[in-house]
Chain A
Amino acid sequence: MANEAVLIDIESDFMRTPEKVMRLDRMGSSFPTRLSFMRTLIRRMSEENWKFERTLRNVDKDGYGVSVYSAITPKRTYSLIAFTQEIPADMRTDRVIAEVWDATFSLFDGVPTQDDIDYLSNNTPLQEGGRYRPSELVLARANKSLRVFEDIISSLASGVQPDLELISSVGYLMRTTAVYGSGKFGCADREKIANREECKTPFHIELLAVYLIRWFTIDMVEELAKERGGKKAVRLDKNISQFIGVGNSTGLGMAPFLLKHPALIHNWVVAKETALARVRSIETALPNTIEVFLRSLRQASQHIDEWNVADEVQSARISLLTDEIQALRMWCEDESNIYRPYPWNGIYQYVEDNFSLECQEMVVSLIIEPHGSIVDDLADTMSTSSTPKFKADMTLSQLKEGVEDAYNWATTIDFSLEESQHHFWYYSEDKLEPRFGSKGVDEGVEQEMPLAIGRDVHDLNKVLQVIDEDMPIGEFVMMYPQFRHIIRRIQNTFERPYSEVQDNLLSESMRPLDLLRFKLAFFGASKFDPKSDLWTRISMYQGAPLPDQIQDSNHDCWSYPIAGRSQSYPCVNCLCQKAI
């Protein structure tokens, strides 16, 4: 909590307001930054000199069986136990309702015994159908990319490197379709590990599992190629293997998470916005940072060129982004635009005034990037153990005032219109799959998940207009118990103003995709590839160092990777001190 208290300077002139930041259209344009969790995890691995070992490989000639990959940190070992099996092609689905997967994983807390492996062999392949113990930290599964997986094995087996264009078009060998932690299906609760240094940052343990899965996929194709090609087989070129990430398919499950953890989300957003505010408030640019930024624009352009998606909306946005980054580069060629007081604020302001949200958010990421020395400490402030509490000692007049100040976005929505309450969120009895329904079309509105924040505030506000303001809030909720949860939420927002999505999540025009991208960007995901308004594919760890590269001086230089190149993001943060 101490960290949470020191960093917030919401009054700073350079801090963007919650009203600006927490809107779906901007959230849905997010990009990863150097504070994203994958970036901070890789930095920790390097700083603490983590070791990685494959400790078991008990598979047949087709790669089916069990393997164990371990990460050895200064104090503990974490082991990824991977089970692989043959499955029918028509049973591969990215959905929660899937029943089989090419590979299934448990991240074990420590070094598993044979008994542990035997226990998990009867459970992990069943995923949600199995039961797990507090010794298991993460449960995950992945399917092969049919376009790439076999092609790479064949190429390597015959002694040639795989087609880079093909790899670039997919970006990964396997795609995870769920990564569960925090007590799901009996796994360890977050609290068990929350005080461990290596687990303090949100989602680091889940992202460690994903990092090990990425290594497992690369190791697997190399081993299968060797099995098939014998002496003729070659290993993947380092530049290619580093470019290979691990895919992920993300659906609606992430959206309720965001809404159910307002205190946590506030901390994430405040950290990022504080980083941006710190950079914008620099009067004279730090040495080399402007030059690094200019080079990074070039790299970002190439990265965008390789970001190809089928989705029409995203494709148009990428196309516009390409033009805008080009225009920004030209604007930056006029030195008077950038070599002046408060250069970063000038750049940010120019982009905000002239370009799309997609471009604005990418530039936020790019201008934060060279400033590790002044922003990296914020990574330690992004977790929380706080749970919003109902405060019975608040007066109704305080509550009313707070609603007027912080929830104008909700109280001004006309919920009598059908389009304002078009959607509802629910859990299906089908493996508890989260789904998004339309009123009047889909059944289940009575079992709606309590995510209608705007509508609930709106309803509360109506009652507040006619009730005696002197009534204690504890007495009010005795009369109106249905408002208890929304009052608790509003009270939390008073203390944590960046915790609330300031849009109507029931609206006909609402795209859950925006929530997914917002959260995935905090994870560090890239190459957002929407498949509908409800789910997206992404790449994780693309360009990140592999286990044997964690100690390389450029371990932190993997933003906006480009296919087939040594990852060479211009950098002033790490020991590599690339020529700029």
Chain B
Amino acid sequence: MSKSDLTISLNEVLFYFTRAGFGVNAPIGISEDFARSNIWIAQNGFDPSECSLLALDNLDSQKSSLSIQFEKSSNGGHLFCPEDNVLSALEASVSCVDWIEFNGINGALKVANVDCPLLVVSALGANQCTGIKVLWIDQSNNLYQVNLIDDGKWEIIASSESPIENSSYADIEISAFDASEKTSIKNGKLKTFNVANEKLKALNSGVKVGDKWPQIYEYFSRCLVKSSAESRASGAGAGLVDTD
């Protein structure tokens, strides 16, 4: 399982990503949500390890933080890391979902300096937060707008060809999606997703994970306990040779 270029199931995404989050010291509740976000990513045809590795690396090396604070603003709210650090997408994503659940989409929610914006989008998607627009400019000055239109459809409008899963370090703005409103991204490239179709493909063909998978597995494997002769002999109850 530690090799690259594997095809895995959605259940394996849940299993390994929950523990990978835990492996970089994210609390289990956040790790569970992180894994569910990765299922949504996988169901939509992306490689979840490609989308999530940076967020895990950052937490592991403490380049990002789970500390978060909320401030009300005249037009909504503002989520940020009080330590003046990069805000981990693992925390930003659950906090955005919670905020929308609590407030609805009245006004705009701004989230400062998030390492992996697509993880925030996927958390919203995984929690059926629809009628929402997510906008950001990343550190490479690529502009993205993601419209979560309804349960069945979402779309990406991007200013460049650069893959959205590689987009990193951005201030995000989440607001209500208005179909009649024109995008602010000039000459943007549009990609639409039909959730049911994409999901069917994942169920029938599995989820392909590429060269970043071994590092996800490495984080996962931190949850495993070294086997000793004693635990091998007695930790599972049954004997090492069983006949009847």
Which A positions have Cβ atoms within 8 angstroms of B? 89-97, 131, 133-134, 143, 145-147, 170, 175, 182-192, 247, 249, 251-252, 387, 389-393, 426-430, 432-437, 442-444, 447, 450, 472-475, 477-478, 481-488, 512, 531-535, 537
Contacts and interface: CB of A to CB of B under 8 A. Distances in A.
A186 B242 contact: no
A392 B225 contact: no
Contact of A428 (B68, B99, B227, B243): B227
A444 B204 contact: no
Contact of B236 (A89, A133, A191, A535): A535
Interface string B73-99: 000000000000000000100110111
B30 A484 contact: yes
Given A435-B235, A482-B27, A191 B10 contact: yes
B197 interface: no
B179 interface: no
Given A134-B203, A189-B10, A447 B225 contact: yes
A484 to B, nearest CB: 3
B27 A187 contact: no
Contact of B243 (A97, A146, A189, A390): A146
A111 B7 CA distance: 22
B108 interface: no
B29 A390 contact: yes
B47 interface: no
Interface in B9-33: 9-12, 22, 27-30, 32-33
B228 interface: yes
Given A390-B33, A392-B99, A428-B225, A90 B241 contact: yes
Nearest to A91: B241
Contacts of B94: 390, 477, 484
Interface of B: 6-12, 22, 27-30, 32-33, 36, 66, 68-70, 91, 94-95, 97-99, 101-102, 127, 203-206, 221-228, 230-232, 235-244
B241 A183 contact: no
A95 to B, nearest CB: 5
Residue from A190, A251, A392 having most chain B Cβ neighbours under 10 A: A392
28 contacts: A92-B242, A95-B236, A95-B238, A97-B232, A131-B7, A146-B243, A147-B244, A183-B9, A184-B9, A184-B11, A184-B12, A186-B8, A186-B12, A189-B11, A192-B204, A251-B237, A390-B97, A392-B101, A427-B225, A428-B224, A429-B227, A472-B102, A474-B99, A475-B70, A484-B28, A531-B237, A532-B238, A535-B236
Contact of A393 (B95, B101, B204, B232): B101
Contacts of B241: 90-93
A430 B227 contact: yes
Contact of A435 (B11, B127, B231): B231
Contacts of A188: 9, 203
Contacts of A389: 127
A501 B244 CA distance: 33
Given A145-B244, A428-B224, A436 B235 contact: yes
Nearest to A184: B11
Contact of A478 (B11, B95, B239, B243): B95
Contact of A252 (B27, B98, B236, B242): B236
B95 A474 contact: yes
A251 B32 CA distance: 25
A447 B19 CA distance: 10
Contact of A443 (B28, B203, B225): B225
Contacts of B206: 133-134, 186
B81 to A, nearest CB: 11
Contacts of B205: 134
B238 A535 contact: yes
A23 B28 CA distance: 25
A147 B9 CA distance: 39
A437 B231 contact: yes
B101 to A, nearest CB: 4
Given A393-B102, A535-B236, A94 B203 contact: no
A170 B226 CA distance: 36
Nearest to B43: A191
A95 B240 contact: yes
Nearest to A426: B225
A437 B235 contact: yes
Contacts of A252: 236-237
B235 A481 contact: no
A443 B244 contact: no
Given A94-B238, A392-B98, A183 B224 contact: no
A440 to B, nearest CB: 13
A433 B227 CA distance: 10
Contact of A134 (B6, B68, B204): B204
Contacts of A442: 228, 230-231, 235
Nearest to B228: A443
A135 to B, nearest CB: 9
Residue from A96, A249, A433 having most chain B Cβ neighbours under 10 A: A433
B29 A481 contact: yes
Nearest to A529: B244
A94 B224 contact: no
Contacts of B11: 182-184, 189-190
B93 to A, nearest CB: 12
Given A95-B240, A249-B242, A134 B9 contact: yes
A291 to B, nearest CB: 39
A106 to B, nearest CB: 14
Contacts of B7: 131, 133, 186
Given A190-B11, A474-B99, 4 more contacts: A93-B238, A191-B10, A426-B224, A531-B238
Contacts of A186: 6-9, 12, 206
A537 B244 CA distance: 10
Nearest to A474: B98
